[in-house]
Amino acid sequence: MIPRALNVWINDARVGRIREHNGLWAFAYAPEWLASHSAFPVCPGLPLQPEEHLDGASHRPVQWYFDNLLPEEGQRALLAKACAANVEDAFTLLQVYGAESAGSLTLLPPDAPPPATSSEKPLPFEELSQRIQQMPQVPLAYRSAKKMSLAGAQHKMAVIYRDGALFDPEGSAPSTHILKPDHPDRAWAHSVINEWFVMTLAKRVGLAVPEVTRLYIPEPVYLVERFDRSHDAGHWQRQHCLDTCQLLGLSREFKYSAGSVARLAEVASLCAPAAVARLALFEWLVFNVLVGNEDAHLKNLSFLTYGSKVRLAPFYDLLCMSVYGTRAFDKDSWPQAATLAWPIEGEARLSQVTPALLLAAAEVMGIKPGTARTAITRLVSHVSTQAKQLLTEVEQENSVLAAQHPTLNATLAGEMRLLRAIVSIVIAEMTRQLGAG
């Protein structure tokens, strides 16, 4: 097999080169990167050194790190089909889609410097609507000038969002937001309003989350501001970011099985300051229980790097998955069959999560019982009251939208049905359950 290679860039600095031959990957830092005072390793598993990092037959830190930049599951299959690649050929997918990835990295052919110009192309709502209508047969970002690799299982694309308008980034321009339409599978109906509502609720109860927006073009779309971007002197810059699998040197295949309370304690210990990260991760855990987020796996936690220091990034991908198993969606799996992405001290069933179990988790994480009890009590109270308040606000906003755009009536009615089920079934049950202790 012919050897393949890609240069790795962060903004306009060449960091190194990855290569692959006969299924084995290698990564070497560029001499100029090693000589820079601002140099840092792309991940802890690939420390700064002049020697090349070479994967072995079973331990593959290079492949695992870069593979984690790619989408997962069905999204990966769609991207592979679009470029006529084997879905298991991660290197080819990075060659095609690595120009705009999660975090700071830009992956380009060895003979291609980063584009010297930064530009953007207007993305009219009509064009975006057409792209959404072509899903899932055609990837959402397939017609974008810059092919994009964004980790995750949902349909998404990287865009620039400014003053109510959307743009496709071109050249060296970094995107500023991630855009997601409703999930095309009706089993996960109204995912836009679901994620917008739960993320907005998270912010109101004190969790650190990025700014989120919902638009109707007329299809609903969800926009989340990228926390791996910074704005300085009028220019957007990419900021280095790792998900938990990348931070710990794990394959994406372990995003569920490697999750545990002890794992949260481990990643918190890597952050500065660790005490702040521990409490934030504990509150994230409690919040996910309260809102029925059954898919809070390891790749749904990220970390920003500042030289040798690591800081917990804002939380993202917060949804109520449990609602789709309720009577509101003609299912009967709630609450007895609703399970978390991984167990809390041996218990994965949401119906069995108690304040005592969460206090035991806090102890594993090194959090004092009084601090943990205060956090649980506060979140139970605030999630309950703020969810009801936010639901009322959305009802009022949607009434205005329906009057202005009657064609949205069916969509808005479906969204409200979902939100009422989230608040009156899932959140009501979980706040009662965790408030009983």
Q: Which ranges constitute the DSSP H helices of 83-141?
A: 90-97, 125-133
C-alpha 66/C-alpha 68 separation (Å) is 5
Residue 115 has pLDDT above 70, yes or no: no
Give the mean pLDDT of the chain. 92
**Where are the domains positioned within the chain?**
241-437
Q: Which of 71-80, 167-176, 261-270, 300-309 has the highest mean pLDDT?
A: 261-270
Enclosing H/E stretch for 6? strand 4-10
Confidence of residue 319 (pLDDT cuts 50, 70, 90): very high
Half-sphere exposure of 354 (CA within 13 A, CB side): 7
Taking the CA atoms of the chain, what radius of gyration do you get in angstroms? 22
pLDDT at residue number 27: 99
Least trusted range by pLDDT, from 96-100, 136-140, 277-281, 290-294:
136-140
pLDDT in tens, 252-273: 999 999 999 999 999 999 999 9
pLDDT at residue number 156: 86
Would strands 157-162 and 339-344 be described as parallel, antiparallel, or unpaired? unpaired
C-alpha 215/C-alpha 205 separation (Å) is 23
pLDDT in tens, 72-88: 777 788 878 878 888 88
End-to-end Cα, the chain, rounded Å = 62
Task: Reduce the DSSP state of residue 25 to 3 states and report it.
Answer: strand
Let me know: does 100 contact 236? Beta carbons within 8 Å.
no
E strands, 109-244, are 118-122, 148-149, 157-162, 165-171, 177-181, 212-216, 220-225, 229-232, 235-238, 241-243
Question: Would you tell me how many other CB atoms lie within 10 Å of the CB of residue 410?
Answer: 10
pLDDT at residue number 118: 77
Q: Between the CA atoms of 391, 392, 394 and 395, what dihedral angle is there, to the nearest 10 degrees?
A: 120
Question: Domain 241-437 adopts which CATH fold?
Answer: 1.10.1070
Least trusted range by pLDDT, from 153-167, 276-290, 311-325:
153-167
Q: Which of 38-47, 130-139, 165-174 has the highest mean pLDDT?
A: 38-47
pLDDT at residue number 154: 67
Average pLDDT over residues 400-414: 95
Task: Reduce the DSSP state of residue 63 to 3 states and report it.
Answer: helix
C-alpha 323, offset from chain centre: 20
Confidence of residue 413 (pLDDT cuts 50, 70, 90): very high
Residue 285 has pLDDT above 80, yes or no: yes
Residue 287 has pLDDT above 70, yes or no: yes
Confidence of residue 146 (pLDDT cuts 50, 70, 90): very low
Which amino acid makes up residue 405?
A: H
What phi and psi, each to the nearest 5 degrees, are found at residue 189? -60, 145
pLDDT in tens, 47-66: 999 999 999 999 999 999 99
C-alpha 51/C-alpha 48 separation (Å) is 9
List C-alpha distances in Å: 334 to 100, 177, 329, 423.
Answer: 39, 34, 11, 14
